[in-house]
Amino acid sequence: MKFFTSGILLFLLLQVNFTNAQGVQFQAKADEIVYVGERFNLIYTLNAEGNNFRGPNIQGLMVLSGHFTSSSSSVQVINGKVSRTVEYTYTYVLAAGQEGVIEIPPAKVNVDGTIYESNSL
């Protein structure tokens, strides 16, 4: 009987679809003010599984390294409802090469066949 009960539980868990509580969000962030020669991070975060990340054409800043990709995920079961969250992070290490106001254009990423664009900075 114990095997039968655990088999039913496993079957039910496999039948539950993973849900993402929110829509796809793709956001850029970095320090607003940096000094010439100062290192800083440009970080893009994506709350879905994406591919073909295309970073921006960064002009007026020195790209010291990157992009580096990291990811995290978690699964939660509450009252029989299964939810899964993921986060992908794409990081550049930059330095200001000159004084002035510089705009960083948006990056792009593909999620399930749809191209998403981040904010510009």
Predicted TM-score (pTM) of this structure: 0.76
Handedness of CA 104, 57, 114, 93 (dihedral sign): negative
Residue 3 has pLDDT above 90, yes or no: no
What average pLDDT does this structure show over 25-31?
96
120-to-30, 35, 64, 77, 99 alpha-carbon distances in Å = 10, 20, 20, 36, 19
pLDDT tens digits, one per residue of 29-78 = 999 999 999 999 999 999 999 999 999 998 889 999 989 999 999 999 99
Mean local confidence (pLDDT), 75-98: 92
Render pLDDT for 100-115 as a digit per residue (tens, 0 to 9). Answer: 999 999 999 999 999 9
Q: What pLDDT was estimated at residue 84? A: 86
DSSP string, 64-115: EEEEEEEEEEEEEEETTEEEEEEEEEEEEEEEE-SSS--PPPPPEEEETTEE
